[in-house]
Structures are given as structure tokens and as C-alpha cells.
Amino acid sequence: MSDKMILTAIEVYGRHGCSEAEQSRGQVFKVDVEMDVDLAAAGASDKLADTVDYAAVLSMVEKIVGGEPRNLIEPVAEEIAATILKKYARVEAVKITLHKPDAPLPVKYADAAVSIVRARK
């Protein structure tokens, strides 16, 4: 599959982290979603029904990241990937990168992130 649908730097306020302060104060997370999906039908038909509605994907990402606080960002990324694969049969694989740019670390850094790739079995 060479076709991809990509959403980058989706900003969502969430309360994920191991410390009580992170879960009470919260912070902005950024999410990149890259989906392997055949876009030929949509390219030919110009119909939303023949593709993945990225507005709906954005809404789903916002709901998950802004939802239940987790200690780690790994399960948040896993839930996003699993939900996309469950809801959108057209998506063959998905790569989620979840950035936590304001993680409270003792050393200056630009970004902390996890990146996972999940595919249909």
C-alpha cells in the first residue's frame, strides 16, 4: 500500500502522566496520525463515503487524548490506533506518534514522544 492519509500536530489538552501534578494540571499533547488506506476509489468518485473522514478521526483523537487520564502515553497511543482500525475497515495500518512536549523532565529537551505502528492481522 502506498497511499496514506496523514494528520499532523493535532493539539489536544490532556491529563496523562505518572505524577499527581501532571494529572491534575494537564498539558497540551500533539498527535500525528498516518493511515495506510487505498485512496483510489475516493480519487475517482470524489465521495466522502469512499475514503476515511479525517474530521471524524480528529474528533476521535480529541476524545481519547482529552479523556481518561493515564500514567503513560503508550496506552493512549494504543487506544487511538485500535479505535481507528476497528472503526475504519479501509485502513490497513496506522502509525500514531504521541508527543508530550512539556513532560516534567530534569534536563532541557525539545520533545518526548512515542510512536507505534499497528496493522490488521
Residues marked as catalytic: 100
| Residues 6 or more apart whose Cβ sits within 8 Å of residue 67 | 14
| Residues 6 or more apart whose Cβ sits within 8 Å of residue 3 | 36, 37, 38, 39, 40
